[in-house]
Amino acid sequence: MSSKDIITLLHGAGGSYMHNLIKQIFMTLDDNFGDIGLQMLDDGAVINNVVFTTDSFIVRPIFFKGGDIGRLSVSGTVNDIAMMGGDPVALSLGVVIEEGFPIHDLEKIVNSIKNTALEAGVHIVTGDTKVMEKGSLDKIIINTSGIGFRSKQLDHDIETLRKTREPKEWLVPLNLRPGDKIIVSGTIGDHAIAILSSREGIGFEANVSSDVAPLNKLINGILEIGGVADAKDPTRGGLADLLNDWSEKSKLGIYIREEDIPVKDEVRAASEFMGMDILELGNEGKAVIAVSPEYVKDVLNELWSIPQGKDASVIGEVRKDIEGVILETSIGGKRYVGRPLGDPVPRIC
């Protein structure tokens, strides 16, 4: 990337293009501040025990199967706080609206924000409203930022990790150790396929709903069990991006088995039809969790006990004898899983 270049859709698609842009341009803002600061490139930052994160949402369509931009905006920020080990508490709501946008649709979105905030137990405490002239913005975009405080479940979890390692104080990739099992909390790819099939003129319709949901209660549930080294939400760029992130930051290898990855039949069919790699598809109601082996059974049982975790599965483990991310395919072969250039479906969040 040279500074003569221009921004492309891939620069916002959660893969290697975006990561390079962030490293080359935005990381120049890093001044090494915070308990977990910009340099960690984690789901959020931690400053004086306050977890702080932000996401802007540009999803199309704004109402889709299984959710809408309002539910997405709350869930996304709640989940980034939860994935650090924080209890999300308060959210800001910045809306930018195109002139001519129906107030009725705005009401629907705000109602969905309200319900999702209630579900997650968070509060909208501040906001901002801007309007752009017709034609200068496609409908509406929403930014939510959020703050949370250290959860007491995290204290317990970090305590349990001390039996097998010297953990950091928060859920970060540096906590990963060889032998940790990798769990996904449910089926992969639902959100991206639901978004695609909610679009008009895309040429297929899959009977799949988005998984968009706040996961803070799910995360607190497993932290209460213990042995959780890190958790991360596989949003833009999917499992492939997330596991590469873990492998790079922990300097450990990750081995996963294709046949153990839960995927809905419709999602598999749709992604084959579209020629997309399921591992690169974005999710908005899933967590990927690295768990110390002796806690895996209990963590799975906890996940299975709640609706959002009923399809949770162990899909692989952290290894020191390999580098990068390796997938054992269903037919028994092995391949490296690279960082995607970007999510194959644009504007999913």
Ligand X SMILES: Nc1ncnc2c1ncn2[C@@H]1O[C@H](COP(=O)(O)OP(=O)(O)OP(=O)(O)O)[C@@H](O)[C@H]1O
Positions in the binding site for ligand X (CB under 6 A): 14, 22, 26, 38, 41-43, 55, 76, 80, 93, 95, 124, 126-129, 235-236, 349
Shortest separation between residue 334's beta carbon and Mg ion, angstroms: 28
* Cα separation, 13 vs 15, whole angstroms: 6
Shortest separation between residue 195's beta carbon and its own copies, angstroms: 14
**Between 206 and 232, whose beta carbon lies closer to Mg ion?**
232
Residue 175: burial class (beta carbons within 10 Å; 0-12, 13-18, 19+): buried
User: Does the protein bind Mg ion through residue 245 (CB under 5 A)?
Assistant: no
Sign for the CA dihedral angle at 335, 338, 341, 343 comes to: positive
Shortest separation between residue 316's beta carbon and ligand X, angstroms: 21
Shortest separation between residue 241's beta carbon and its own copies, angstroms: 14
Shortest separation between residue 171's beta carbon and its own copies, angstroms: 15
Tokens of 287: 């967590």
**Between 16 and 160, whose beta carbon lies closer to ligand X?**
16
52-71 binders of Mg ion (CB under 5 A): 55
**Between 76 and 186, whose beta carbon lies closer to ligand X?**
76
Please count the other Cβ atoms lying within 10 Å of the Cβ belonging to residue 190. Answer: 27
Apex 42 CA angle, 67 and 129, nearest 5: 50
* Cα separation, 292 vs 289, whole angstroms: 10
User: Does the protein bind Mg ion through residue 241 (CB under 5 A)?
Assistant: no
Q: How many residues in total does the chain contain? A: 349
Tokens of 78: 């709640």
User: Does the protein bind Mg ion through residue 343 (CB under 5 A)?
Assistant: no
Tokens of 124: 């909208």
Shortest separation between residue 246's beta carbon and Mg ion, angstroms: 12
* Cα separation, 346 vs 58, whole angstroms: 10
Helices (H), 183-317: 190-198, 216-225, 238-250, 265-274, 296-304
* Cα separation, 169 vs 162, whole angstroms: 11
**Between 157 and 230, whose beta carbon lies closer to Mg ion?**
230
**One-letter identity of residue 310:** K
**Between 130 and 152, whose beta carbon lies closer to its own copies?**
130
Cα–Cα separations (whole angstroms), residue 297 to 124, 177, 314, 349: 37, 18, 10, 33
120-139 binders of Mg ion (CB under 5 A): 128
Q: Near Mg ion by CB under 5 A, which window of 64-72, 76-84, 132-140, 194-202?
A: 76-84
**Between 79 and 270, whose beta carbon lies closer to Mg ion?**
79
**Between 95 and 158, whose beta carbon lies closer to ligand X?**
95
Shortest separation between residue 157's beta carbon and ligand X, angstroms: 20
Site string for Mg ion, 138-177 (x = CB under 5 A): ----------------------------------------
